[in-house]
Amino acid sequence: MRAAQSVDKFGNPDGTGTGMGWFPGYAIDVATGERLNMAFGEDSWLGVDNGRDMKFNPTNRLYSNLGDPIFGGKHYVYVFTNQDREIPFADRMPAYDGGAYIQTKLSSGTSANELRVWRSCVWVGMPMLASGFTFSDPRNIPTEARVKLRVKRMYEAYSTNNAEYLPDTTTATNGWRPKYRFSLDNLATQTYLTTDEIKDSILSLINIVPNPYYAVSDYETGRLDTRVKVTNLPERATVRIYNVSGQLIRTYTKDSPLTSLDWDLKNQAGIPIASGIYIVHVEVPEVGEKILKWFGAMRPPDLQNF
């Protein structure tokens, strides 16, 4: 944690302590739909490259005047998974809390607490500003970017050339550290989409999370609350939910700028649904339809609150 004063969205000290800034974006776990904790860094030695102002504002300089890689002030970005969901009550990284867990653990100064933070880090990036662009603070970042990741393997020592892993790195490729190669040769920005292709791309983003639902979700706010979300909806849409017999269970008519819709897992009469498979039909005016299958395993009624 940096010892500098925490700042607000305008880059001004906010009086809440030290080490906290604002990042102009967010990370979502596409498997669960939940928001993830993030952090970014900077190198205070690189003041010329905005490395000591507590803002996410990398420059476009890759090398210093001495030829050392500086990656635009080292504004590295870190994404942390929710390990508390995977291993509850084990002092692990929780669901999104605005970075409070990270701040508490890294401010303690103990290596054990540092480990509790970094063992949940699933992705690190080194973004830099593209040449020809400028911005003074995170509120006026000049472009938007979306990065989709699929993390399938932990970052640990293993063989990259089909040889047996050995502690001796004499014959190792890259010191037995992970080594990847990828190409963008066949990828390009789609600039000439037909109307049907645009509609299909909009509908393909609509989803219901979590799916399957096993008695609880991170969206719920209490013991009596049951909730899932239909996500990536346009401003206007009609959502109808059916059971496998084709009986209409619930209808929602959406007309708001929110991009998601909450279903409380009840029917039109306010009665909790039974466990099983349901069909979610989403109709978007002048665009098309999307049909989703959803499975839910409901928890027993909580009689302690009645």
Task: Tell me whether residue 166 is in a domain.
Answer: no
Contact 271, 264 (CB under 8 A): no
Category of 229 on φ-ψ map: left (φ > 0), alpha (ψ -120 to 50) or beta: beta
Domain that holds residue 121: 5-140
In sequence order, what are the residues at sequence separation of 6 or more whose Cβ sits closer than 8 angstroms to the Cβ of residue 32? 82, 85, 209, 210, 218
Instruction: Identify the segments of the chain with pLDDT beneath 50.
Output: none
148-200 per-position pLDDT tens digit:
777 666 666 766 555 555 667 777 777 777 666 777 777 766 555 556 666 67
243-278 per-position pLDDT tens digit:
998 899 999 998 888 888 999 899 888 888 899 999
Q: How far is CA 253 from CA 32, 238, 274, 288, in A?
A: 24, 5, 23, 15
Q: How many domains does the chain have?
A: 2
Q: Which two tokens stand for residue 217?
A: 């979700």
Task: Tell me whether residue 240 is in a domain.
Answer: yes
CATH code for position 273: 2.60.40.3580
DSSP letter (8 states) at residue 164: P
Contact 38, 79 (CB under 8 A): yes
